[in-house]
């Protein structure tokens, strides 16, 4: 047994240097608390073991919200972008989502340097093998080498390392992602604390040699001509440096996979962990969508200074030789050379119902969870939780009010509320459909929704906040001007209207009313708007959205106001719900387990009916 020695004392210790760990460490350090971040491998801080991309549907919203609060991910993504695209442009602005292909090693380098140079933050390469709370009231984190770090709060941001096991066909072994060491002993330590752990699974596709691909047989996918940054502080738009490509599976691909399905650990029963519902392996897609003729595959570069290409949409746990065989059935990949074999990884995570909305573990005061440890999937979900856990650990020590974001304020609030109130049976992925308020929670207005909070926390600078206030003022002034600007009928204007398939003017009309027409927009009417000022692109976008969707936004705001009425009715923290007469037993059991903070949260718990909510309201009124 290794002899322990007291190494150092900190306010907060963060276990893990991935996307959750980075934000969880930066936030409290920036708030002035002495913080340490432990990582098994210092060269892999901010690693992207799956696709090197940031953003995507709903995930882009999370990154912009995190940036508005004072997080780092958006800045890092802008600094290392290879290709930028705005998804869902053919749909409404509520679901526009920014996605960027990222230079993987440059992103790691950016984040490693960001945590290294952060004041009040120490970064250490060390494996934590044991944690416990001792009689001194502190949490003690013990490394494999016997160093004892005493801390007031600990944040678990273990990603897929905790009890990690790799599966490739009939082969399986203990490992973290990308050949790193797993955190096996820490998993055993957490089980001793009676933390409710379970097994989840995720996977990553192969990385292949660029020179072995025939790109002439693939579709080209260019980036946007007019790119948009993630961070509100980024002044120069990211440049597209690469193109991506799209390929498709076929009947031969399907045949190879079905013939070897019995060799998949997923179908052989070797993997006990539950996989992500919305990001299945290629063999899972072939089985679940048996009638589909082909499946899309995205061929995306891992960086400017590497020949590795990522095959998005082709994750697999089939044997190595089977993977090579089915990849080579795809046009363009007939001679492909695999540089890194695809694999599935199984890992331990907590049942998120054991967490408060602050991400503190209910039965272990001072111990917090973030990211995949909490049952979510995705870099963006992880970073958002890391930030919230870091702020709340800091506020607990400082004696300040906790940071709990509401569902109506953000996708981050929705993400955490879903996890701690509804739980998850498979790795949770954020989607726009998960929010009942998505018309209000657009990515274009993330700064208006959350930057005042970030500024109030002390994590958004005075300079950035003043820039935000100036943009907000420009938007409000322009909306007022547009509502008070009238156009008279004219030949040129009517020709435009008719060419767009909308009725010509016979009398004067407000500019705002023209913008509200589905066939028209703020930009196309600019030549007729002689008083229009020069405004930044993001301000113009906000002006158009708020005018065009004014009625819908007002109705949704009314829904929010009604829900806030329930959110403001607080419930007692330590209370036995079985003592309330008229409350169903199932509801009482669920309420006792989750301990909702208010009526609104209680109403979202699975197993709590509207009738049960009425009983709670009557009880509170007494």
Please write the tens of the pLDDT for every residue from 449-478.
999 999 999 999 999 999 999 999 999 999
Fold of 207-343: Elongation Factor Tu (Ef-tu); domain 3 (2.40.30)
String of DSSP letters for 53-105: EEE-TTHHHHHHHHHHHT-SHHHHHHHTEEEEEEETTTS-GGG-EEEEEE-HH
| Structural tokens at position 161 | 């390392």
pLDDT band, very low/low/confident/very high, at 573 (cuts 50, 70, 90): confident
Q: What percent of the chain has pLDDT over 90?
A: 81
pLDDT band, very low/low/confident/very high, at 575 (cuts 50, 70, 90): confident
Which residue would you say has higher pLDDT here, 333 or 595? Answer: 333
Average pLDDT over residues 437-458: 96
Q: Which range (128-132, 276-280, 584-588, 601-605) has the least confidence?
A: 276-280
The structure tokens 């002390």 sit at 458
Q: Is the pLDDT of residue 84 over 80?
A: yes
Q: Is the pLDDT of residue 173 over 90?
A: yes
Judge whether 207-343 and 569-621 match in fold: no
Average pLDDT over residues 567-591: 88
| Structural tokens at position 560 | 């929010």
- pLDDT reported for residue 66: 98
Buried b (16+ CB within 10 A) or exposed e, 583-613: beeebbebbeebbbbbbbbbbbbeebeeebb
Q: Which range (293-302, 540-549, 569-578) has the least confidence?
A: 569-578
- pLDDT reported for residue 272: 74
Beta-bridge partners for 208? 309, 338
Fold of 569-621: DNA polymerase; domain 1 (1.10.150)
Total Cβ atoms within 10 A of residue 380:
31
pLDDT band, very low/low/confident/very high, at 62 (cuts 50, 70, 90): very high
Region class of 2: left (phi > 0), else alpha (psi between -120 and 50), else beta: beta
- pLDDT reported for residue 278: 65
pLDDT tens digits, one per residue of 491-534: 999 999 999 999 999 999 999 999 999 999 999 999 999 999 99
The predicted model scores a pTM of: 0.94
Which residue would you say has higher pLDDT here, 204 or 271? Answer: 204
- pLDDT reported for residue 237: 93
Q: Is the pLDDT of residue 413 over 80?
A: yes
Q: Where are the domains of the chain?
A: 207-343, 472-555, 569-621
Q: What percent of the chain has pLDDT over 70?
A: 99
Question: What is the total residue count of the chain?
Answer: 622
Q: Is the pLDDT of residue 559 over 90?
A: no
Integer Cα distance of 415 and 429 in angstroms: 9
Average pLDDT over residues 372-386: 97
Buried b (16+ CB within 10 A) or exposed e, 110-143: bbbebbeebebbbbbebbbbbbeeeeeebbbbbb
What CATH class has 472-555?
A: mainly alpha
């Amino acid at each position: 047994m290794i002899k322990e020695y007291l190494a150092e004392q900190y306010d907060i210790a963060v276990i893990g240097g991935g996307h959750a760990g980075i934000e969880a460490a930066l936030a409290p350090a920036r708030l002035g608390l002495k913080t340490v971040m432990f990582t098994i491998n210092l060269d892999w801080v901010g690693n992207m073991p799956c696709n090197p991309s940031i953003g995507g549907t709903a995930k882009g919203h999370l990154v912009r919200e995190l940036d508005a609060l004072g997080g780092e991910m958006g800045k890092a993504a802008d600094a290392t972008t290879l290709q930028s695209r705005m998804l869902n442009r053919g749909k409404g602005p509520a679901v526009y989502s920014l996605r960027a292909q990222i230079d993987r090693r440059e992103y790691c380098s950016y984040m490693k340097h960001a945590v290294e140079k952060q004041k009040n933050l120490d970064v250490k390469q060390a494996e934590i093998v044991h944690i416990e709370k001792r009689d001194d009231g502190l949490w003690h984190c013990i490394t494999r080498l016997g160093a004892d770090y005493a801390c007031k709060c600990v944040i678990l941001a273990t990603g897929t390392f905790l009890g990690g096991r790799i599966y490739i066909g009939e082969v399986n072994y203990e490992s973290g992602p990308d050949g790193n060491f797993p955190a096996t002993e820490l998993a055993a330590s957490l089980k001793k604390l009676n933390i409710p752990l379970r097994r989840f699974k995720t996977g990553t596709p192969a990385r292949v040699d660029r020179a072995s691909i025939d790109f002439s047989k693939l579709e080209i996918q260019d980036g946007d001509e007019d790119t948009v940054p993630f961070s509100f502080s980024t002044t120069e738009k990211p440049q597209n440096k690469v193109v991506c490509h799209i390929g498709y599976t076929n009947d031969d691909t399907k045949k190879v996979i079905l013939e070897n399905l019995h060799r998949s650990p997923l179908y052989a029963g070797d993997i006990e962990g539950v996989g992500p519902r919305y990001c299945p392996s290629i063999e899972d897609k072939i089985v679940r969508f048996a009638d589909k003729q082909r499946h899309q595959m995205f061929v995306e570069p891992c960086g400017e200074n590497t020949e590795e290409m990522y095959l998005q949409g082709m994750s697999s746990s089939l044997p190595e030789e089977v993977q090579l065989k089915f990849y080579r059935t795809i046009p363009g990949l007939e001679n492909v050379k695999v540089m890194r074999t695809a694999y599935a990884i199984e890992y331990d995570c907590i049942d998120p119902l054991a967490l408060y909305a602050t991400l503190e573990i209910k039965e272990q005061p001072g111990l917090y969870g973030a990211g995949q440890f909490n049952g979510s999937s995705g870099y963006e979900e992880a970073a958002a939780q890391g930030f919230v856990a870091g702020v709340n650990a800091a506020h607990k020590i400082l004696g300040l009010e906790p940071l709990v974001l509401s569902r109506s304020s953000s996708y981050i609030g929705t993400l955490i509320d879903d996890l701690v109130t509804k739980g998850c049976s498979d790795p949770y992925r954020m989607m726009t459909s998960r929010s009942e308020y998505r018309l209000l929670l657009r990515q274009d207005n993330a700064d208006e929704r959350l930057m005042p909070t970030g500024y109030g926390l002390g994590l958004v600078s005075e300079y950035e906040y003043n820039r935000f206030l100036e943009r907000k003022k420009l938007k409000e002034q322009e909306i007022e001007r547009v509502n008070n600007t009238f156009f008279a009928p004219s030949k040129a204007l009517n020709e435009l209207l008719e060419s767009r398939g909308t009725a010509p003017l016979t009398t004067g009309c407000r500019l705002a009313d023209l913008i509200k027409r589905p066939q028209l927009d703020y930009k196309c009417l600019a030549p007729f708007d002689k008083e229009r000022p020069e405004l930044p692109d993001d301000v113009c976008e906000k002006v158009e959205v708020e005018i065009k969707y004014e009625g819908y936004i007002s109705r949704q705001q009314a829904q929010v106001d009604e829900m806030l009425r329930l959110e403001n009715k607080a419930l007692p923290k330590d209370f036995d719900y079985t003592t309330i007469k008229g409350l169903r037993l199932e509801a009482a059991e669920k309420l006792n387990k989750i301990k909702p903070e208010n009526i609104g949260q209680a109403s979202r718990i699975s197993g709590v009916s509207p009738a049960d909510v009425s009983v709670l309201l009557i009880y509170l009124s007494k």
